[in-house]
Chains A and B, each alone.
Chain A
Amino acid sequence: MMNEESVFFSRVLTELTLSFHIIYATIGVGVPLMIMIAQWVGIKKNDEHYILLARRWARGFVITVAVGVVTGTAIGMQLSLLWPNFMELAGNIIALPLFMETFAFFFEAIFLGIYLYTWDRFENQKKHLLLLIPVAIGASFSAVFITIVNAFMNAPQGFDVLNGELVNISPLLAMFNPAMPTKVAHVVVTAYMTSAFVLAAIAAFRLLKGSNHIYHKKALFLTMKVGLVFSIATAIIGDFSGKYLAQYQPEKLAAAEWHFETEKNAPLILYGILDDGEVKYAIEIPFALSILAHFDPTAEVIGLDQFPEDETPPLYIHYLFDIMVTIGMSMVVLSGLYWLGIKLKWTFVNSRWYRWLIVLGGPASILAIEAGWWLAEVGRQPWILRGIMRVEDAATTSSHVDIMLILFAGLYLVLGVGSIVVLSRMFRKNPVEQEIEDRNAEKGGDIL
């Protein structure tokens, strides 16, 4: 094919942009909820520490949301620049949620600006908290609408193709496609979960690095508790995602689970490696794949033998599945033990090694998000719109994509390093002990 180079570089650039954007987008969706919870707890318990927690999180959030906004703008435009044929088709059928996403984001941006700049304008903290509600709603709905577009790419519906023309288009039917419920739920809930664990990692890190302030302990307990709730929810929704795949995208499930032959009583393969088409060193859980796919240990699960080779996703997605599930489950255990440990006064949850595990949980959760998205996207190959349009037919015919890739890679490097440097400087210069003291001095030394 003539266009191979452009297709290749378009794929790499899209993957790079999305992999970078998703870190900030996930934080952008999850952290407003965490700020809201902290501020709410602070108001309810009349505890300044939680209010301060909300305030400091909000300050850091500004940096991450800015990077999220600019990379989100980039991917929004890159879709048309790199995949013009796909966007022409998609524009006809699934433009509605894309359009609504801009409104959700608009709404969020307006109130975020107001919220950030009005910390001291309101006597009543509750009024200020109210401003955060549209931020959190806008952020979550941005994720909902964009994920709907992605769901549509996996399970397109709401139109017919007649002699190469699109007919009977129904934008609503296209939005509420079969992939939508599980996908949207999974994305939103994992964003909450990951944000909670990232914030927990920061609190644990401060405690390890010598601060023994009760502020960090409160932060750690709150975030781990919220993280536990959402990681359990993630596991449940993940199970439903398996059932969706079994019914609507069996080739994705089969490739992710290395399920080659269609069979009943299908076992679930975890880990292992693929050597010349043979699975080695894997753990096999009998009946588990049938249960994951159909709620029934004896049910038949469609294998890769039912699909032509050029419509089968790459088999390495199994490793991505392993990474995602292992991290997700570990986080349930880690946060569950922590919560129990605090309630039952087990001392090991306050030990240094356990806190290091919590610190590790932050980046690990982000890795799980990345693995999950790579699994979702690579698992849809060779399709950009499953069953309708192949990736290589969607890409731009323009040359110069390789140069753009280099430019954008440079940009993301600057943004990534910049955001880390600015965030760490911001909090190192103004540690929480200092800020509590300053605020005390301002108020003439009451409370706290």
Chain B
Amino acid sequence: MTLEIIGIFVLWTFLFGYLIVASIDFGAGFFNAYSLLTGRQRILTNIIQRYLSPVWEVTNVFLVFFFVGIIGFFPKTAFYYGTTLLVPASIALILLAIRGSYYAFETYGSRGHKGYSFMYGLAGLFIPAALSIVLTISEGGFVNMINESPTLDYNALFTSPLTWSIVVLSLTSVLYISSVFLTWYANKAGDLDATALMRKYALIWALPTIITAGGIMVELRSHNPEHYENMLNIWWAFALSLLLFIGTVWLLWSKRSYGLAFVLLGGQFLIAFFAYGFAHLPYLLYPHLTIYDSFTNEAMAIALIVAFIAGLALLIPSLYLLLRLFLFNKDYVRGKKEDNHA
């Protein structure tokens, strides 16, 4: 394994982590806002507060880690992506800020501005849409070099079916991942109403997720044949991912082992995400940028990897403690512990 591969592997892993935890977070916000509309807010609000509020800052760090790390390992990405992403990334940032402040202002502060809850819920859908643009751009064809500086072709971007398919996939998978997780969490909390509701949502969003994912493969065939070929070469990984998907849906359908269902879902996305990423290599941005020509110097790469290992040694036990206290602690999940924060 070369340093370049290690670097992108570490970053991709963190991006995967963000994908899962942020999807849960975004989707929950949307379901919460939706249930406010239909007058069922009590079902979800409680679970959201017990699970999401203590961990939202941690979710956020996954993203920060990714974009700081990619500048460290692949400094040239700052030039290419920094210049082209000004607008979509700024919009995502502003929406992220609205969500972050919602947790603080609404949950810790005083209760209840309805409009803010809607903003919070909607922001959760717009953020993945805005962030997913990055994946679209990386497929190439939307960035032109004008006067030696990369420029995003908004016309091409917004008229491309690929863009919209990826946006739709980001939305469906957010809702799907989130509802599967919340089914399990609600079930653990012994909240039957919420479990039934979330299970229903999970089943609704399962099919659209897999259809859009398949659709994107087809579109890549014409948009980026090289990437498509590479993906076909590892078709078995995608097939495995599909099997796991079927497993999840079957478990949800037959109302059993929601925990295992969530694990299978994690496996499905893990395999598909890494297979997609692996096929994307060596390009970071077709056809301008590869992991090799954008890589940092060796001294920095080694320093970053050492720092990363040291950091993990610190973080993994801490994360374990966090999960044990809030996610896997039965009394806490069921709301029996009277843990008033501060």
Contacts and interface: CB of A to CB of B under 8 A. Distances in A.
Contact of B97 (A56, A78, A84, A411): A411
B57 A113 contact: yes
A91 interface: yes
B271 interface: no
B47 to A, nearest CB: 15
A65 B69 CA distance: 23
A170 interface: yes
Contacts of B299: 169-171
Interface in A424-444: 425-426, 429
Most chain B CB within 10 A, of A74, A103, A414, is at A103
B149 interface: yes
A408 B94 contact: yes
Given A69-B100, A95-B72, A121 B339 contact: yes
B340 A422 contact: no
A209 interface: no
Nearest to A6: B86
Contacts of A105: 61, 64
A345 interface: no
Interface stretch (A247-255, A260-268, A284-292, A394-402): A394-402
A66 B318 contact: no
A326 interface: no
Contacts of B338: 120
Interface residues of A, number: 79
Contacts of B308: 99
A199 interface: no
A404 B57 contact: no
A89 interface: yes
Contact of A106 (B65, B67, B78, B81): B65
Given A87-B75, A96-B303, A67 B315 contact: no
Contact of A116 (B68, B75, B304, B341): B341
B82 A404 contact: no
A56 B322 CA distance: 23
A388 to B, nearest CB: 15
A172 to B, nearest CB: 7
Contacts, number: 239
A398 B86 contact: yes
A96 B101 contact: no
A84 B339 contact: no
Contacts of B87: 398, 400, 403-404
B303 A171 contact: yes
A107 B322 CA distance: 11
Interface stretch (B32-40, B103-111, B207-215): B103-111
Contact of B101 (A56, A78, A106, A415): A415
A16 interface: no
Interface string B301-342: 001100110010011001101100110000000000111111
B242 interface: no
Given A76-B64, A422-B109, A120 B75 contact: no
Given A100-B307, A114-B321, A117-B339, A80 B71 contact: yes
Nearest to A66: B104
Contacts of B101: 66-67, 70, 414-415, 418-419
B146 to A, nearest CB: 9
A59 B90 contact: no
B90 A63 contact: no
A396 B58 contact: no
Contacts of B314: 103, 107
Given A95-B296, A398-B84, A73 B339 contact: no
Most chain B CB within 10 A, of A74, A80, A171, is at A80
Q: Dominant SS at the A interface?
A: helix
A107 B110 contact: no
B85 interface: yes
B188 interface: no
Nearest to A87: B78
B158 interface: no
A70 B96 contact: yes
B54 interface: yes
Contacts of B337: 121
A96 B304 contact: yes
Given A73-B93, A92-B296, A109 B58 contact: yes
Given A66-B103, A114-B322, A118-B339, A99 B69 contact: yes
A367 interface: no
A422 B102 CA distance: 11
A112 interface: yes
A110 B90 contact: no
B288 interface: no
Contacts of A170: 299
A408 B90 contact: yes
A77 interface: yes
Contact of B315 (A82, A89, A110, A415): A110
A81 interface: yes
Contacts of A73: 60, 63-64, 93, 96-97, 100
B106 to A, nearest CB: 9
A88 interface: yes
B108 A62 contact: yes
A414 B99 CA distance: 12
Q: Which 3 A-B pairs have the closest CB atoms?
A: A91-B75, A66-B104, A84-B82
Interface of B: 54-55, 57-58, 60-61, 63-65, 67-69, 71-76, 78-87, 89-91, 93-94, 96-98, 100-101, 103-105, 108-110, 147, 149, 151-152, 296-297, 299-300, 303-304, 307-308, 311, 314-315, 318-319, 321-322, 325-326, 337-342
9 contacts: A55-B342, A58-B342, A88-B76, A99-B68, A110-B321, A117-B341, A169-B299, A171-B299, A398-B152
